[in-house]
Amino acid sequence: MTSALPARRRPPLLPGACLGVLGGGQLGMMFATAARRMGYRVEVFSDVADCPAARHCDRLHVVSLDDPQAVVRAAADVDAVTFEFENVSAAAAEALAARTRVRPSPNVLHTVQERRREKAFLVAHGFPVVPHAVVTDAATLAAAADRVGFPAVIKTAAFGYDGKGQRRVADRAGLEAAWRDLGAGPVVVEAWVEFVAELSVVAARGDDGAFAPFPAVHNRHRDHILDLTTSPAAFPEAVGAEAARITAGVFTALDLVGVACVEFFLLGDGRLLVNEIAPRPHNSGHLTIEACACSQFEQQVRALCGLPLGAPRQLAPAAMANLLGECWGGGEPDWPAALAVPGVSLTLYGKAAPRPGRKMGHLTAVAATTTAAEEAVLAARARACRAAPGT
């Protein structure tokens, strides 16, 4: 195992080393695929055995990610560790960091996995954010919402993703029900922002401080779940440049080594507000596999191992469409019909049971223009999911 030297002094981990990933979902699956292609062994740590990454790794450990000692014992042969989702125990990451390299660091995970800490970090470092207030008890909820203004969005402090753990309230009358529905625990009350678009920047930062951002992408959501990503985004060049500048600042302030994503709201006057930080590869970066010189997952491997970062250059316009469980509403989707669309590729995650809102896979299209890529990927999804409602 690698000796516990400070992260900046560790030599690169070369192919043949063993990489660990906390979490066995689709992001872990795609990380494992990239790492094994580069000659690394991969061990996955998951709280369930039947997970997407299980079929793409060298060894699966079924272990509670909230049990630091159990995770450390299971990771005895691992040379470096990363994670594929942020809802894992920061204490487990800290215990691992005492024995081996963990990237991004446990400090990054601790900061961004809880909305109160994430917002406090962004405000303290002067990054533009949505007006908000932190509430820890019902007695102060109404006053906080009044300060922020209505309509407002109430979000749980932790464990929120894909629209889970949040409620929109139009006025004071909806506050009590929202508080109750969200578990009557600490929340962040945010102003409702009338944005014109949502965009994100996935980027990598090396242990030498090198920063490699992928182009900013345009994200469209349906029922709070990412539905479609297109790149290059149809925004003025200055918007993408500003998004990359803010992302670089966030990474530097966090001293983040690895791959992460910063999500933004674009306002009508051209200003950007940071929505949230995801300290790992991101759904909106999946199109980098087919469209970029180096994918977000290869960058994750490179950053984790202390290798030079790859080129984030985009080789062709691209679009990515998520495949949710609804696509299976009429039986197995028609994959031959989808793949007959020129430029389209399919990635399925191997999840056994489709259900509404569950991400089962995605389609990516590359084409001569962003518009053509978007049309192709939507046509392919419509063909595949022709029997499913709303597709």
Query: Does residue 153 share a domain with residue 98?
Result: no
- List pLDDT tens digits, range 17-58: 999 999 999 999 999 999 999 999 999 999 999 999 999 999
**pLDDT for the residue 5:** 38
User: What's 201's domain CATH number?
Assistant: 3.30.470.20
CA distance 286 to 268: 27
pLDDT over 70 (residue 160): no
Q: Which of 338, 321, 309, 365 is nearest to 12 (CA)?
A: 309
Give the confidence band of 164 by pLDDT, cuts at 50, 70, 90.
low
Query: Does residue 179 share a domain with residue 158?
Result: yes
Q: What would the two tokens of residue 206 be? A: 């090396």
- Show which of 167, 191, 215 is a domain's final residue: 191
**pLDDT for the residue 176:** 80
Question: With contact defined as beta carbons under 8 Å apart, do 284 and 202 qualify?
Answer: yes
Give the confidence band of 144 by pLDDT, cuts at 50, 70, 90.
confident
**pLDDT for the residue 172:** 83
- Show which of 102, 119, 148 is a domain's final residue: 102
Query: Does residue 234 share a domain with residue 135?
Result: no
pLDDT over 90 (residue 10): no
pLDDT over 60 (residue 8): no
**pLDDT for the residue 140:** 84
Q: Tally the domains of the chain.
A: 3
- Residue 11, preceding peptide bond in cis (omega within 30° of 0): no
pLDDT over 80 (residue 3): no
- List pLDDT tens digits, range 292-320: 999 999 999 999 999 999 999 999 999 99
User: What's 181's domain CATH number?
Assistant: 3.30.1490.20
**pLDDT for the residue 7:** 46
Domain that holds residue 370: 195-384
Query: Does residue 23 share a domain with residue 86?
Result: yes
Query: Does residue 200 share a domain with residue 181?
Result: no
Query: Does residue 168 share a domain with residue 86?
Result: no
CA distance 176 to 135: 13
- List pLDDT tens digits, range 86-133: 888 899 999 999 999 999 999 999 999 999 999 999 999 999 999 999
Q: What is the mean pLDDT of the chain?
A: 92
Please report whether residue 334 resides in a domain.
Answer: yes
Which has more confidence, 180 or 218?
Answer: 218
DSSP lists the bridge partners of residue 134 as: 188
**pLDDT for the residue 367:** 98
Give the confidence band of 157 by pLDDT, cuts at 50, 70, 90.
confident
Please report whether residue 116 resides in a domain.
Answer: no
- List pLDDT tens digits, range 189-215: 999 999 999 999 999 999 999 999 999
Query: Does residue 174 share a domain with residue 56?
Result: no
Give the confidence band of 4 by pLDDT, cuts at 50, 70, 90.
very low
Give the confidence band of 183 by pLDDT, cuts at 50, 70, 90.
confident
- List pLDDT tens digits, range 223-250: 989 999 999 999 999 999 999 999 999 9
Give the confidence band of 389 by pLDDT, cuts at 50, 70, 90.
very low
pTM confidence score: 0.93
pLDDT over 60 (residue 60): yes
pLDDT over 60 (residue 280): yes
Question: With contact defined as beta carbons under 8 Å apart, do 96 and 37 qualify?
Answer: no
Please report whether residue 112 resides in a domain.
Answer: no
**pLDDT for the residue 186:** 85
C-beta neighbour count of 71 within 10 angstroms: 24
Query: Does residue 165 share a domain with residue 251?
Result: no
Phi (first) and psi of residue 235, to 5 degrees: -120, 160
Question: With contact defined as beta carbons under 8 Å apart, do 378 and 321 qualify?
Answer: yes
Question: With contact defined as beta carbons under 8 Å apart, do 123 and 131 qualify?
Answer: no
